[in-house]
Amino acid sequence: MPYVRPSMFAGLTDRSWLWLAAECYAVGLLLGTWSLLRGNRQSGIWINLVIATGYLFQVIGLWLRGRAVGGCPLGNTFEIFQFTAWSAITLYLIVGVTFRLSLLGFFTSCLAAVVTLVSLSIPGWDAARREHIFGGNPWIELHAALALFSYGVFALLALTSFMFLLRHYSLRHKHPGGSFAFLPSILDLDHMSRRLLVIGVTLLTASLAVGAAYWVRDIPSVNVTKLLLTVAVWLAYAVTLGLRLCGILIARRFAWTGVVLFGVALLSLWPVDASRHALPPPAHVVPR
């Protein structure tokens, strides 16, 4: 292995680190695709190693960005998408590696590569960096971080739901071999999707509860558009969870709901970010 001098990374900016992370996720996607095309079982060790390396680079990039803006880097569309990808990778490294779901690593690297590369390739999303967007209030920062992390959970839910649909297709059309053979069982995927939905709804509920505890002390600072969209996303996932637990929304319909809802949740980030930029930053309120 060639020797890598530490000085090679000394002058890298936060975006440079995030580019390196995106490239690692893309390499993980290429490795997984190559393995699937050859009809081989996914090489979990190599894919996980590449994803973990990209994750380390992304952590460094987000940390540098957070230090520069004086808080959690969630001040524009670019940072929101990067944080969402980071959340999904974080959860995969905890859940996917633990249960040896190597094919989930392939899909997660696909999602992370697309989200990070697209956000890096659109300069307008990172045209204006906002500093101290939370006014030094740790509760609002916690509220935002929990909300975005829940979106990462919903991203992983969309991936397991997509894998469920692939497995359902293979069973329905009697094609259990080939790449379909590497998918987890349809029962395991259904159980994992249900657990991810519970985790996501719990995190988003906690985020809204933390935000509400602060907003009641400073109602004029509430961004109505952001609040309504966030509550709408929460309500959609909460209703889905209720229907799933009652046995009404199950199997293929539940999987399609997980995929579609994440697309809607992702699209809701644009008006949320736009409305936040259109309003002045809230006044800092010191909790009693």
162-204 pLDDT, tens per residue? 989 988 888 887 666 555 666 778 888 898 899 999 999 999 9
pTM for the whole structure: 0.79
Mean pLDDT of the chain: 82
Q: What is the pLDDT of residue 187?
A: 87
| % of the chain residues with pLDDT over 70 | 79
Please give the span between the terminal C-alpha atoms of the chain, in angstroms, as a whole number: 57
Q: What is the pLDDT of residue 283?
A: 43
How confident is the model over 13-38, as a mean pLDDT?
88
Q: Are 25 and 54 in contact (CB under 8 A)?
A: yes
**Dist CA 152 CA 204 (whole Å):** 11
pLDDT digits (tens, 9 = 90+) for 249-259: 998 999 999 99
Question: Spelled out in words, what is the top-level CATH class assigned to the domain 12-133?
Answer: mainly alpha
**Dist CA 47 CA 29 (whole Å):** 8
**Dist CA 143 CA 204 (whole Å):** 9
Q: What HEC string does 185-238 produce?
A: CHHHHHHHHHHHHHHHHHHHHHHHHHHHHHHCCCHHHCCHHHHHHHHHHHHHHH
287 has pLDDT over 50: no
Which one is predicted more confidently, 139 or 275? Answer: 139
Q: What is the pLDDT of residue 94?
A: 82
137 has pLDDT over 90: no
DSSP-derived secondary structure for 5-52: -GGGGTT--HHHHHHHHHHHHHHHHHHHHHHHHTTPPP-HHHHHHHHH
Decide: helix, strand or coil at residue 92.
helix
Start and end residues for every CATH 1.20.120 domain found in the chain: 12-133
Q: What is the pLDDT of residue 192?
A: 87
How confident is the model over 242-247, as a mean pLDDT?
94
Helix, strand, coil shares of the chain as percentages rounded to 5? 75, 0, 25
Q: What is the pLDDT of residue 102?
A: 60
How confident is the model over 33-54, as a mean pLDDT?
76
